[in-house]
A and B are shown apart, each in its own frame.
Chain A
Amino acid sequence: MSEKSSPGPGSTSEESKSSLASIVSEGARGLLVPLLAVFTAVVIGGVVIWLTGTGPAPADVKGWPGFLVQSGLWRPILAYSGLVQGAFGSRRALSETTVWATPYIFAGLAVALAFKGGLFNIGAEGQLALGALIAAWIGFGLPGITGPLPAIVHVPLAILGGALAGAVWGAIPGWLKARTGGHEVINTIMMNYLALLLSSYLLNGPWKDPDPTNVVAQTPPIAQSARLTPIFADYRFHWGFILALLVALAVYWLLWKTTLGFEIRTVGNNPSAARYAGMAVERMIVLTMALSGMLAGLAGSVEVVALNYGHTLSFNIGYGFDAITIALLGKTNPLGVVLAAILFGALRNGASRMQFLTQVPVDIISVIQALILLFVAADAIVRYIYRIRARGTKLVLTRGWGG
């Protein structure tokens, strides 16, 4: 870690000059604090597991050193080893980790893009729900109107339809912010509840799977022509993951290599200067929220088209908060978001195995997640613990109610 606070571009990568080498070295330096944040959160999570655990030691720990068994320290160790096994322990585990990571990448990109534009999108959850809902309807309902569709049309239509629905759901709070100053933090949350109630109505009512054996609030399965089939037989690893990676690259390109990205970032950094420079600030706010909503909508529609082949009520719950953590852990950089999303996919995926082995509830991941966010947001704490000097300029994330 270089101690000299050189005037060069800081870890926020606001620089416009970038070579591959500088990206790599910046990236390596930028990874240190997030990695330490994750590490610290995992350690504290272990303490929580240790403190809250009850019940006798299972057979798995026979032969472990006695003090580990008696002190209860076996529990976090077994829990975390279960977690790692569940996430990376086999080909199937790896495949499942990518399945979990796919919507996280899209939703994390959604939140990160909004942050770049100076907006805090807490509404990824609702935008994702809308994306899934509309993609599912295009999948099961549209052929009833148009007649059978070829897959080459039906698949993209479902994915893009969902993306568009997410865009609209995101653009509404964006428009409210631009036109009336209503703060997007509250409005995106309100839109989440509206999305939930709307889904609840549709999935229990007109769009409910009419199959007599069905008791769940879910749509009928989508038509074969709207499905993306898995890449490998026997594994759930799907094309959505590949698409997510491509979209991450596209977002990177958009933000750093295009004039539109320059406008988004300028409005996000200093809306007043953007206005003086002749940018249409209000239009950019709506557009940024629409793009952000679109990415979240993609998370939903890809799940429907490439994985679930239908939509069930409240599968989206929790994605909004996860996406915020992922965006911040990835330092709002699209490539960082991909890494953070894979990490979160692994955590969520491994958690089931952990719960099975040790009875530690999967919800411990949410605790660890909050701690990660805590240490990423308050990186001063991490820097203090590990004695790391700060460098570079601070990330501007949100503004107060004033706008």
Chain B
Amino acid sequence: MSLNRFLFILLAILVLIGVTEALGQGQAPPLLIAVSFLATTLQVATPLTLGALSGIYCERAGVVNIAIEGMMLGAAFFGWLASIYAGAAGLPMIAALLVGVLAALLTGALLALLHATLSITFKVDQIISGTVINILAVGLTGFLNRALFFQQEVPHAPGVLPTIRIPLLADIPVVGRIFQQQPITLLAIALVVFTHWLLFSTRWGLRTRAVGEHPLAADTVGINVYRMRYANVLIGGVIAGLAGAYFTLESVPSFEPGQTAGRGFIALAAMIFGNWTPFGAWSAALLFGAAQALQINAQFFGLKVPSQFVGMLPYILTMIALTGIVGRTIPPAADGKAYEKA
């Protein structure tokens, strides 16, 4: 990603912190506001970061994935459901939550398998295939959620994943708050680094990028294009599943229909804005996260502007990012094109 865009993102985040500081003036010490702002940003950016990474795996291999939203929603629901029943079966809280996370990952993988089958094997238009999954996720979670309501007794959810204190860093006074985070948030950051290494330094990454840029060239040197695409879409699905787990197992211990509220699509925009690179996407995710953190803080500090207008900020920022005002980005050359083997 270009330096310009990094600087733009940095500047935008600084502006958002500045606004928050101005709002909270006199109500809390400035450093505390900044620290709390950054900690919140890291948290709320997590599903965006993971969603963007999910998109990177798929699209670097040449499969457009607009189904991240649906994968997240499905994973959020089934992860939550699994944790409830695991808890009710007598598992301790942590174990029940881990069962939930596994169920979320599995849901993501299954939906990704559907996307891969439709778009790679059946060569269905990839955006339509993604839409099928988005609608399926809304329908299935809505249906099962209501079916659950009709039952008299639903067991309680076991809670949310515990906070991890990063040794030393978390012990720094005041600032240490930033380094006390829940596991999925930390995992997301680790995955950014891992994905960067995988994509640009390994055989897997080279082949993945080759099938996304020029599948025929990859085929002529003996790389199985379909297999690479399937594998990457499935990895993408698992990561989207982790993003789903964030909603119901890390953020809040409950599910509501439409809980993901377009985060999957904002994640896609972060991926595009980050030029399909892990670090680029992460910084874009942090920017959108910061906009959301401002909204949370604005409510907290009693801003006079109606909350709906502050709530528009992440969506508007997303649209602005896509205009290419801060430089055009270039998708992988074969992104969205079904590969027809001779």
Q: CA of A362 to CA of B146 in the docked complex: distance in angstroms?
A: 9
**Which chain A residue shows the least CB distance to B143?**
A363
Check B336 against A400 for contact (C-beta < 8 Å): yes
Q: CA of A317 to CA of B147 in the docked complex: distance in angstroms?
A: 20
In the complex, which of the residues A201, A205, A361 has the most CB atoms of chain B within 10 Å of its own CB atom?
A361
CB distance from A144 to the nearest CB of B (A): 22
Residues of chain A in range 339-370 having any CB-CB distance to chain B below 8 Å:
359-370
The verdict on A363 contacting B139 (CB below 8 Å), with A198-B308, A374-B132 known, is yes
Check A400 against B142 for contact (C-beta < 8 Å): no
Which residues of chain A have C-beta atoms less than 8 A from B337's C-beta?
400
Stretch from B173-181, B225-233, B315-323 forming part of the interface with A:
B315-323
The verdict on A377 contacting B135 (CB below 8 Å), with A186-B318, A186-B322, A363-B146 known, is no
Which residues of A pack against B, CB within 8 Å? Answer: 48, 52, 54, 120, 122, 176, 179-183, 185-187, 189-190, 192-194, 197-198, 200-201, 205, 317-318, 321, 324-325, 328, 359-371, 373-374, 377-378, 380-381, 397-402
Check B124 against A373 for contact (C-beta < 8 Å): no
Which residues of chain A have C-beta atoms less than 8 A from B266's C-beta?
190
Check B309 against A190 for contact (C-beta < 8 Å): no
- Which of A180, A363, A373 has a CB less than 8 Å from the CB of B324? A180
The verdict on A377 contacting B118 (CB below 8 Å), with A321-B138, A366-B143 known, is yes
CB distance from B120 to the nearest CB of A (A): 12
Which residues of chain A have C-beta atoms less than 8 A from B132's C-beta?
370, 373-374, 377-378
**Which chain A residue shows the least CB distance to B128?**
A377
Which residues of chain A have C-beta atoms less than 8 A from B318's C-beta?
186, 190
Q: CB-defined interface of B127-171 with A at 8 Å, one 1/0 digit per residue? A: 111011011101110111111001100000000000000000000
The verdict on A398 contacting B136 (CB below 8 Å), with A182-B324, A194-B316, A361-B143 known, is no
Which residues of chain B have C-beta atoms less than 8 A from A373's C-beta?
128, 131-132, 135
**Which chain A residue shows the least CB distance to B322?**
A182
Which residues of chain B have C-beta atoms less than 8 A from A324's C-beta?
131, 135
Q: Could you write out 13 A-B pairs with CB less than 8 Å apart?
A: A54-B150, A181-B324, A181-B328, A190-B318, A194-B315, A362-B146, A364-B139, A366-B138, A370-B138, A374-B132, A377-B124, A377-B125, A400-B336
Which residues of chain A have C-beta atoms less than 8 A from B309's C-beta?
197, 201
Check A397 against B128 for contact (C-beta < 8 Å): yes
Q: Is B306 an interface residue (CB 8 A)?
A: yes
**Which chain A residue shows the least CB distance to B330?**
A402
Which residues of chain B have C-beta atoms less than 8 A from A377's C-beta?
118, 124-125, 128-129, 132
Which residues of chain B have C-beta atoms less than 8 A from A192's C-beta?
262
Q: CA of A18 to CA of B322 in the docked complex: distance in angstroms?
A: 42
Q: Is B335 an interface residue (CB 8 A)?
A: yes
Which residues of chain B have C-beta atoms less than 8 A from A371's C-beta?
136
The verdict on A374 contacting B312 (CB below 8 Å), with A52-B144, A54-B151, A189-B265 known, is no
CB distance from A320 to the nearest CB of B (A): 10
Check B125 against A193 for contact (C-beta < 8 Å): no
Check A400 against B335 for contact (C-beta < 8 Å): yes
- Which of B124, B134, B324, B331 has a CB less than 8 Å from the CB of A402? B331
Check B308 against A401 for contact (C-beta < 8 Å): no
Which residues of chain A have C-beta atoms less than 8 A from B308's C-beta?
197-198, 200-201
Interface residues on B, range: 35 or more
Q: Is B64 an interface residue (CB 8 A)?
A: yes
Q: CA of A365 to CA of B123 in the docked complex: distance in angstroms?
A: 26
Which residues of chain A have C-beta atoms less than 8 A from B135's C-beta?
321, 324-325, 366, 369-370, 373
Check A201 against B306 for contact (C-beta < 8 Å): yes
Which residues of chain B have C-beta atoms less than 8 A from A186's C-beta?
265, 268-269, 272, 318-319, 322
In the complex, which of the residues A179, A205, A399 has the most CB atoms of chain B within 10 Å of its own CB atom?
A399
Q: CA of A368 to CA of B138 in the docked complex: distance in angstroms?
A: 11
5 cross-chain pairs, A with B, having the tightest CB-CB distances, nearest first: A400-B336, A366-B139, A370-B136, A182-B322, A363-B143
Q: Is B7 an interface residue (CB 8 A)?
A: no
Check A180 against B323 for contact (C-beta < 8 Å): yes
Q: CA of A369 to CA of B266 in the docked complex: distance in angstroms?
A: 25
Check A193 against B143 for contact (C-beta < 8 Å): no
Check B127 against A397 for contact (C-beta < 8 Å): yes
Check B128 against A401 for contact (C-beta < 8 Å): no
In the complex, which of the residues A200, A362, A398 has the most CB atoms of chain B within 10 Å of its own CB atom?
A398
Residues of chain B in range 213-271 having any CB-CB distance to chain A below 8 Å:
258, 261-262, 265-266, 268-269
Which residues of chain B have C-beta atoms less than 8 A from A325's C-beta?
135
Q: Is B300 an interface residue (CB 8 A)?
A: no
Q: CA of A176 to CA of B269 in the docked complex: distance in angstroms?
A: 14
Q: CA of A265 to CA of B126 in the docked complex: distance in angstroms?
A: 21
Q: CA of A198 to CA of B318 in the docked complex: distance in angstroms?
A: 17
- 10 extra interface residue pairs, beta carbon distance < 8 Å, beyond A325-B135, A373-B128, A377-B124: A120-B127, A186-B272, A190-B262, A193-B261, A193-B262, A321-B138, A359-B150, A365-B139, A367-B139, A369-B135
Q: CA of A262 to CA of B258 in the docked complex: distance in angstroms?
A: 39
Check B139 against A378 for contact (C-beta < 8 Å): no
Residues of chain B in range 292-342 having any CB-CB distance to chain A below 8 Å:
306, 308-309, 311-312, 315-316, 318-319, 322-325, 328, 331, 335-337
Which residues of chain B have C-beta atoms less than 8 A from A185's C-beta?
66, 127
CB distance from B272 to the nearest CB of A (A): 7
- Which of B128, B328, B331 has a CB less than 8 Å from the CB of A398? B128
Which residues of chain B have C-beta atoms less than 8 A from A183's C-beta?
272, 322
Check B142 against A366 for contact (C-beta < 8 Å): yes
Q: CA of A374 to CA of B129 in the docked complex: distance in angstroms?
A: 7
Q: CA of A398 to CA of B336 in the docked complex: distance in angstroms?
A: 10
**Which chain B residue shows the least CB distance to A395?**
B125
**Which chain B residue shows the least CB distance to A201?**
B308
Check B128 against A193 for contact (C-beta < 8 Å): no
Which residues of chain A have C-beta atoms less than 8 A from B272's C-beta?
183, 186, 401
**Which chain B residue shows the least CB distance to A173?**
B319
CB distance from A379 to the nearest CB of B (A): 9
The verdict on A205 contacting B336 (CB below 8 Å), with A187-B322, A361-B143, A370-B136 known, is no
Which residues of chain B have C-beta atoms less than 8 A from A187's C-beta?
319, 322
Which residues of chain B have C-beta atoms less than 8 A from A321's C-beta?
131, 134-135, 138
In the complex, which of the residues A48, A182, A360 has the most CB atoms of chain B within 10 Å of its own CB atom?
A182
CB distance from A394 to the nearest CB of B (A): 9
CB distance from A365 to the nearest CB of B (A): 8
Q: CA of A152 to CA of B336 in the docked complex: distance in angstroms?
A: 50
CB distance from A114 to the nearest CB of B (A): 13
Which residues of chain B have C-beta atoms less than 8 A from A120's C-beta?
127
CB distance from B84 to the nearest CB of A (A): 16
Q: CA of A368 to CA of B135 in the docked complex: distance in angstroms?
A: 10
Q: CA of A367 to CA of B145 in the docked complex: distance in angstroms?
A: 13
